[in-house]
Amino acid sequence: MQSAMWLSSTASTTHCPWPRSILDSSADNPNRYNAASNCLEMLHSSDYRIHSTTEALPRGRIKDAHSLIKMTSNALSMITSYDIFGNETGSWRQPMTERAGFWESGSEGSDGLSYKGGLPSGLTADVTVCKGEEKKCDHKTVQEAVDAAPDNLIADKRFVIRIQEGVYEETVRPVKECRPRRRHRRSWPLREGVLGDGFIASDLTIQNTAGPNAHQAVAFRSDSDLSIIVNCEFLSNQDTLYAHGLRQFYKSCRIEGNVDFIFGILLHSSKIALFWFVPANSNQKRVRTMLSQHTKASGSQKFSGETWKEYSRTVFIQCTLEAIIKPLGWLPWRGEFALKTLFYGEFDNSGPGANLSGRVPWSNQILAEHVYMYSVQNFIQGDEWIPTS
Residues serving a catalytic function are: 239, 260
**In residues, how long is the chain?**
389
Question: Cα(353)–Cα(327) distance, rounded to whole angstroms?
Answer: 7
CB neighbour list of residue 173: distance below 8 Å, 6 or more residues apart: 143, 189, 190, 191
Q: What is the layout of strands, in order, in the sheet containing 227-230?
A: 200-202, 227-230, 247-251, 267-271, 292-293, 313-317, 343-347, 364-365
Q: Cα–Cα distance between 95 and 101 in angstroms, integer?
A: 12
Is there a contact between 201 and 179 (Cβ–Cβ < 8 Å)? no
Residue 8's φ and ψ, nearest 5 degrees, are: -65, -45
**Helix-strand-coil split of the chain, %, nearest 5:** 25, 20, 55
Look up residue 178 and give its DSSP letter. -
Task: Find the Cα–Cα–Cα–Cα dihedral 138, 144, 148, 152, rounded to 10°.
Answer: 150
Nearest-5° Cα angle at 225, 176 to 9: 70
CA–CA gap between residue 300 and residue 30 (Å, rounded): 36
The span from the first CA to the last CA of the chain, in angstroms, equals 38
Beta strand 247-251 with 161-163: parallel, antiparallel or unpaired?
unpaired
